[in-house]
């Protein structure tokens, strides 16, 4: 098979996957995890039923993939730790620059993925795979946010504090998906309001 044909086939496969993921997101958010079926996703995406089963296998795997794409913001195989916004949060010249980068990246991630995080929380009682994935994501998020604080401290951007552990854990809690979802449910805040809250919280915690 020549290269142009391979390229066209790859493009078609990628477009089909995008359609499936858009349909899955729409149905999971609208109808909930348990009411959504792979058949319904295929119909909504305008693809064959078998296509969805062959590509994703199970409903849990489809939701995990949809969450991964929403978290990343694209389909590139790069972890959050490798993303430009997180690297800027580790290496910015001033603390204000680093906080701004972290807040922008975190708020954008929550706006893209928050609805799907809510679906995962609905599903985890009956889907051990999703429960474990969410637990792992929570642990990874905690470590990334603690690393952000440790990096700023190591670079001399934080004032001395008698309780650095408190700083790290408070920042880590502020940036968790469950914190975002709780704030959204209890306050009705729009994404911009969450962003402002997160920015103010980090500034107060890290400059007090």
Q: What is the pLDDT along the chain (208 residues), one digit of tens a residue?
A: 566 656 677 788 889 999 999 999 999 999 999 999 999 999 999 999 999 999 999 999 999 999 999 999 988 878 999 999 999 999 999 999 999 999 999 999 999 999 999 999 999 999 999 999 999 999 999 999 999 999 999 999 999 999 999 999 999 999 999 999 999 999 999 999 999 999 999 999 999 8
Distance CA(5)–CA(134), nearest Å, equals 39
Q: Which domains does the chain have, with CATH numbers?
A: 1-57 (1.10.10.60), 77-207 (1.10.357)
Tokens 């680093």 belong to residue:
98
CB-count exposure of residue 24 (10 Å: 0-12, 13-18, 19+):
buried
Q: What angle do CA 69, 73, 74 make, to 5 degrees?
A: 70
pLDDT score, position 208:
81
Q: Give residue 4's pLDDT.
A: 64
The Cβ-side half-sphere exposure at 2, using a 13 Å CA radius, reads 1
H/E run at residue 104: helix 95-123
Q: Is 2 left (phi over 0), alpha (psi -120 to 50) or beta?
A: beta
Structure tokens given for 204: 């107060």
At residue 113, the pLDDT reads 98
| Residue 76 falls in which region: left (phi positive, over 0), alpha (psi -120 to 50) or beta | beta
- How far apart are the C-alpha atoms of 187 and 190, rounded to whole Å? 9
């Amino acid at each position: 098979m020549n290269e142009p044909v391979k390229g066209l086939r790859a493009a078609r496969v990628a477009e089909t996957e995008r359609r499936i993921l858009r349909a899955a997101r729409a149905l999971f958010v609208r109808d909930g995890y348990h009411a959504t079926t792979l058949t319904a996703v295929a119909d909504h995406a305008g693809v064959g039923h078998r296509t969805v089963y062959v590509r994703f296998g199970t409903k849990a795997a489809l939701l995990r993939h949809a969450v991964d794409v929403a978290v990343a913001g694209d389909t590139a195989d790069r972890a959050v730790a490798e993303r430009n916004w997180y690297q800027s949060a580790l290496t910015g010249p001033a603390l204000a620059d680093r906080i701004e980068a972290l807040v922008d990246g975190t708020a954008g991630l929550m706006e893209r993925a928050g609805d799907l995080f809510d679906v995962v929380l609905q599903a985890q009682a009956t889907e051990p795979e999703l429960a474990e994935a969410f637990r792992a994501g929570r642990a990874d998020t905690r470590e990334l946010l603690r690393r952000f604080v440790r990096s700023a401290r190591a670079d001399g951007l934080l004032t001395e504090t008698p309780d650095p552990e408190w700083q790290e854990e408070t920042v880590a809690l502020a940036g968790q998906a469950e914190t975002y979802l709780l704030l959204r449910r209890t306050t009705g805040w729009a994404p911009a309001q969450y962003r402002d809250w997160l920015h103010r919280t980090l500034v107060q915690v890290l400059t007090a």
